[in-house]
Chain A
Amino acid sequence: MSDIPPTRPAPLDVRPVKQRIWRRLSLVWLVPVVALSVSLWAAWQNYLDRGTLITITFENAAGITASETVIKYRDVTIGAVESVEFAPGLSDLLVHARIDKTVAPYLDDDAQFWVVRPDVSVRGITGLDTVLSGVYIEGNWDTEADVAQYEFTGLEQPVLTRAGERGTHIVLRANDGGAVSAGAPVLHKGLEVGYLEKPELSFDGNQVVVSAFIESPYDRRITTSTRFWDTSGFSVSFGAGGVSLDVNSLASLIEGGIAFDTVVSGGQPIRDGHIFDIFPDRETARDSLFADPNAEVVKVAVLFAQSVSGLSKGSEVRFQGIRIGEVSELSAIVVGEGETADVRLQAVLSIEPNRLGMGAQATPEDAIALLSDFVIRGLRARMVTGNILSGSLVVELVQIEDALPAIMTFTSGAYPVIPTTQSQISDVAATAEGVLARINALPVEELMDGAIDLMDSLERLANDDATVAAPASLVALLDEARALVASDDIQAVPRDLRKTINDLDALIASAADADLVGDLDGALAVATAAAANVEAATRNLPAITAQIEALTAKANSLEFEALVTTATQTLASIDSLIGSDSAAALPGSLNGALDEMRVFLAEVRAGGAIENVNAALASANEAALAIEEAVSTLPALSAQAGRLVAQTEAVIESYSERSRFSAETLATMRDIQAAADAVSALSRAIQRNPNSLLTGR
């Protein structure tokens, strides 16, 4: 074997082949390219889809967590909070959030945001889901895209009215915010048709203003004549109908509530933002319907000298019973100066001219002129009791017929002053007490006793012989007088006189200067007049009877048995009195008297002495005068009887209404007794001494 060097493999040419760079590129490069492009595309997409960044300023961002808290619109998530930071000054919190691009254009200046938290109230529990899921931010805006905004101020309270919700916003004014709280219901005939927003103090601080939202279609029920009233709590009213307790829904009991109703038609439709007043209760609200709150009022003042306790601002002003306004102001003012200074209580009355029947175009000046005119004709203001239970007063303008002349004064103050008259204030307690006391004090038993006594007396009087005799004597007297006039004796008198004259002719002839004939003529004329008087007196008697009969009828109608029976007895007695014949003695007496006269004349004739005749004729003249006098008292007597009847009538009439009945009745009875006594005394006197009729003694 030869030492040949081991063969080495031929050296390989391992030079890499230079290839063009594209040819050398591996397909694997596609992988990172694809990965990169996918990533970039995803990033780009992400960037494109990224929501619009908005900033919401909250005072309180409790529960808001960056990247967790979502933003919802109508319960759909439209975005999320990206970060929460403090505003410069640390007063507010800035919540940066991304909002879906499709929604962002709608976020214009009406967009509102608030944090939804669990809320437990009387009307229910809301936001319960946020207990577990955490709070979220709710947004509310309308569906019209306007100029997009990117900075908003978050609300502390959820808004109650969703933008785009159909209904009407109104503004309510109340004097007291106790009845209104945010979310309180607005009721219409018991249905909840709306709710109140958050109440606020009005600009001038005098009233509470709360805007309310009335849902469609109920808002169509609201017109300018709609009235709102407070239904919160419960009301207890005590009136003629008894006690009534009015309790509304539990929610309105606690949260308050407002109800409205449109009682009268004819109101104008309202627009958003119409202002209504809240009345304290339904009645007031209804009453106010007839008072246009915007109506022009005329203010007049009334100055009361006495206490106005019971009168208050808002008290009614009535004119002939109709409400025409109300008391708008009460104050004390000083009138006069120095020694005459006095404090008066001034009530300013707001009177609506149209309630006075004046037209709509009437100006306040017209109304003042009208009132002034009324005052001249007797219009006066006074306080009267409005409510007898509460003792509240109202001011009443009344027409006083016999009022002292007065005019409206324009000088004493800011308002024209209507003069006052005596007020009619009845304190209920005092009145009731007084009524009871007077009823108690009525002498009912004495009255009955007195009535029975009266009847007894009447009976006694009627049964009294003297009484029986009195009319009888009267009738007899009158009859006799008539008989006297008609008697032959009287007619014989001229004959006798003629005879006497004939007898005297000689005397006359013999004593021509004597004036006897004239004297006799005068005496005869007086006698004739006396007879006429007697006749006239007699004519009055039937009238007396009729009156007594009327009295009897009245007495009959009385329900008291004793009275009736006694009256019946009285009637019987009076009947028997009238029916008695004992008056027949009177003509006899007259006859006697005339006989005596004849005797007297005969004595004159027999005497023959001219002086005696003269004296006799003078005596006859006197006698005739006395007869005339006596007879002339008869009409007075009958008038007295008539008065008696009238008094008795009045007594009986007033029995049912006057407590003085007893006393008056007793007095009347005494009068009757006295009258009867007088009649009987007269008759007795006439019987005893008929001659006195002629002689005047």
Chain B
Amino acid sequence: MQVFDLGSTGTTSGLITAREAGLVACQRCGQVHRQDVRLCTRCDGALISRDTDSLQKVWAWLIAGMIAFIPANIYPMLLTSTLVERSESTIVSGVIELIHHGSIGIAVIVFVASIMIPMGKFMAIIYLAISVQRKSGTNRHQRHKAYEIVEFIGRWSMIDVFVVAILSALVQLNTIATINPGIAAVSFALSVIFTMLSAQSFDARLIWDADRTTT
């Protein structure tokens, strides 16, 4: 057995990958197999050393998510009908309205959850995908952390959709007040889903392949 210098843990210089060791780990249960094994002996999951289509999927889902994000911001999120008036508010207009009403805290939360995070996710995924494609060898640890954050935080973006769903379900007082989800709610949900799929499609192991293939 090859002895690996574990002393260099935390740096990338002396690291060896499983692939270099002729091993492949199950993505689900973590069982390590030899590279020629196709199915995980423990969980029957497919074993693949590198997902060669990963970047394609990432880009595809990402683009779909970004497309969905456009109507999510253009079209109204909430259709509020009260006895007196009927209003449609998009995400941004809702934020502005909240600021006008003085609820800056809530406005910040909505803004961060609905604008900043999705945008940040797009940025992060684009950055990761491009860096992998360029086989960049820098900041591998930071990029991996960024990937994990993106994957973790992705699901929380759905909070907006949940709020809309709960409001729509609760406020149905016929003529007095009604709240209905707008097209933007669906678009936003789709956008979040596509982004999450995009993040999931990303094979984080590619981060570590970069300098190997070049050197």
- Distance between Cα atoms of A9 and B16 in the complex (Å): 14
* Inter-subunit contact A32/B63 (CB<8 Å): yes
* Inter-subunit contact A35/B68 (CB<8 Å): yes
* Inter-subunit contact A133/B85 (CB<8 Å): yes
- Distance between Cα atoms of A25 and B60 in the complex (Å): 10
Closest to B58 in A: A28
Knowing A14-B19, A28-B201 are in contact, say whether A35-B85 is a contact too (CB < 8 A).
no
Q: Which of B60, B67, B84 contacts A29 (CB 8 A)?
A: B60
Q: Which of A12, A32, A34 contacts B61 (CB 8 A)?
A: A32
- Distance between Cα atoms of A35 and B61 in the complex (Å): 10
Q: Is A16 an interface residue (CB 8 A)?
A: yes
* Inter-subunit contact B56/A28 (CB<8 Å): yes
Q: Is A309 an interface residue (CB 8 A)?
A: no
Q: Which of B19, B52, B84 contacts A133 (CB 8 A)?
A: B84
Q: Is A370 an interface residue (CB 8 A)?
A: no
Across-interface contacts of B70 in A (CB, < 8 A): 39
Q: Which of B19, B56, B67, B71 contacts A26 (CB 8 A)?
A: B56
* Inter-subunit contact B64/A31 (CB<8 Å): yes
Interface set, chain A 6-37, CB cutoff 8 A to B: 6, 8-9, 12, 14, 16, 24-26, 28-32, 34-36
Knowing A8-B2, A24-B56, A133-B84 are in contact, say whether A35-B19 is a contact too (CB < 8 A).
no
Interface centre among B52, B63, B64 (most CB of A within 10 A): B64
Knowing A42-B71, A133-B84 are in contact, say whether A31-B53 is a contact too (CB < 8 A).
no
* Inter-subunit contact A32/B85 (CB<8 Å): no
Range for the number of chain A residues in contact with chain B? 20 to 34
Across-interface contacts of B45 in A (CB, < 8 A): none
Knowing A29-B60, A32-B67, A35-B194 are in contact, say whether A12-B84 is a contact too (CB < 8 A).
no
CB distance from B121 to the nearest CB of A (A): 16
CB distance from A127 to the nearest CB of B (A): 16
* Inter-subunit contact B35/A26 (CB<8 Å): no
Q: Is A146 an interface residue (CB 8 A)?
A: no
Across-interface contacts of B53 in A (CB, < 8 A): 24, 26, 28
Knowing A9-B22, A132-B83, A132-B84 are in contact, say whether A31-B71 is a contact too (CB < 8 A).
no
Closest to A67 in B: B88
Q: Is B206 an interface residue (CB 8 A)?
A: no
* Inter-subunit contact B2/A16 (CB<8 Å): no
Across-interface contacts of A39 in B (CB, < 8 A): 67-68, 70-71
- Distance between Cα atoms of A365 and B211 in the complex (Å): 125
Across-interface contacts of B52 in A (CB, < 8 A): 16, 24
- Distance between Cα atoms of A16 and B213 in the complex (Å): 11
Q: Is B135 an interface residue (CB 8 A)?
A: no
Knowing A132-B83, A133-B84, A134-B85 are in contact, say whether A31-B61 is a contact too (CB < 8 A).
yes
Q: Is B185 an interface residue (CB 8 A)?
A: no
- Distance between Cα atoms of A8 and B16 in the complex (Å): 14
Q: Is B129 an interface residue (CB 8 A)?
A: no
Q: Is A596 an interface residue (CB 8 A)?
A: no
Q: Which of B84, B86, B194 contacts A31 (CB 8 A)?
A: B194
Interface set, chain A 114-147, CB cutoff 8 A to B: 132-134
Give per-residue flags for B157-201: 1 if the beta carbon is below 8 A from chain A beta carbons, else 0: 000000000000000000000000000000000100010000001
* Inter-subunit contact B56/A35 (CB<8 Å): no
Q: Is A156 an interface residue (CB 8 A)?
A: no
CB distance from A12 to the nearest CB of B (A): 7
Across-interface contacts of A68 in B (CB, < 8 A): 85-87
Interface centre among A12, A16, A31, A132 (most CB of B within 10 A): A31
- Distance between Cα atoms of A479 and B56 in the complex (Å): 176
CB distance from B67 to the nearest CB of A (A): 4
- Distance between Cα atoms of A34 and B194 in the complex (Å): 12
CB distance from B92 to the nearest CB of A (A): 15
- Distance between Cα atoms of A35 and B65 in the complex (Å): 8
CB distance from B81 to the nearest CB of A (A): 11
- Distance between Cα atoms of A25 and B56 in the complex (Å): 7
Closest to B1 in A: A6
Range for the number of chain B residues in contact with chain A? 20 to 34
- Distance between Cα atoms of A133 and B175 in the complex (Å): 12
Interface set, chain B 26-41, CB cutoff 8 A to A: 35
- Distance between Cα atoms of A42 and B74 in the complex (Å): 13
Across-interface contacts of A12 in B (CB, < 8 A): 22, 35
Q: Is B144 an interface residue (CB 8 A)?
A: no
- Distance between Cα atoms of A31 and B64 in the complex (Å): 6
Q: Is B57 an interface residue (CB 8 A)?
A: yes
- Distance between Cα atoms of A39 and B84 in the complex (Å): 33
CB distance from A21 to the nearest CB of B (A): 11
Across-interface contacts of A6 in B (CB, < 8 A): 1-2
Closest to A42 in B: B71
Interface centre among A14, A42, A132 (most CB of B within 10 A): A14
* Inter-subunit contact B22/A35 (CB<8 Å): no
Knowing A14-B19, A35-B194 are in contact, say whether A28-B67 is a contact too (CB < 8 A).
no
- Distance between Cα atoms of A32 and B61 in the complex (Å): 6
Give per-residue flags for B60-99: 1 if the beta carbon is below 8 A from chain A beta carbons, else 0: 1111100110110000000000011111000000000000
- Distance between Cα atoms of A134 and B61 in the complex (Å): 45
Interface centre among A6, A9, A25, A35 (most CB of B within 10 A): A35
CB distance from B140 to the nearest CB of A (A): 19
- Distance between Cα atoms of A134 and B60 in the complex (Å): 47
- Distance between Cα atoms of A25 and B61 in the complex (Å): 13
Give per-residue flags for B9-22: 1 if the beta carbon is below 8 A from chain A beta carbons, else 0: 00000000001001
- Distance between Cα atoms of A135 and B85 in the complex (Å): 11
- Distance between Cα atoms of A26 and B70 in the complex (Å): 24
- Distance between Cα atoms of A34 and B60 in the complex (Å): 11
- Distance between Cα atoms of A24 and B57 in the complex (Å): 11
- Distance between Cα atoms of A394 and B61 in the complex (Å): 103
Q: Which of B19, B57, B67, B87 contacts A36 (CB 8 A)?
A: B67
- Distance between Cα atoms of A134 and B85 in the complex (Å): 8
CB distance from A408 to the nearest CB of B (A): 80
Knowing A14-B19, A39-B71 are in contact, say whether A26-B83 is a contact too (CB < 8 A).
no
Across-interface contacts of A31 in B (CB, < 8 A): 60-61, 64, 194
CB distance from A556 to the nearest CB of B (A): 102
CB distance from A455 to the nearest CB of B (A): 105
CB distance from A93 to the nearest CB of B (A): 21
CB distance from B141 to the nearest CB of A (A): 23
CB distance from A43 to the nearest CB of B (A): 9
Closest to B53 in A: A26
Across-interface contacts of A133 in B (CB, < 8 A): 84-85
- Distance between Cα atoms of A9 and B2 in the complex (Å): 10
- Distance between Cα atoms of A68 and B85 in the complex (Å): 9
- Distance between Cα atoms of A689 and B63 in the complex (Å): 172
Across-interface contacts of A26 in B (CB, < 8 A): 53, 56-57, 60
* Inter-subunit contact A32/B64 (CB<8 Å): yes
- Distance between Cα atoms of A25 and B68 in the complex (Å): 22
CB distance from B49 to the nearest CB of A (A): 8
- A-B contacts besides A31-B60, A32-B67, 17 pairs, CB < 8 Å: A6-B2, A12-B35, A24-B52, A24-B53, A26-B57, A28-B57, A28-B201, A30-B60, A32-B61, A32-B64, A32-B194, A35-B67, A36-B67, A39-B67, A39-B71, A68-B86, A134-B84
A-B contacts, 5 of them at CB < 8 A, read: A6-B1, A28-B201, A35-B64, A36-B64, A134-B85
- Give B residues with C-beta under 8 Å from A: 1-2, 19, 22, 35, 52-53, 56-57, 60-64, 67-68, 70-71, 83-87, 190, 194, 201
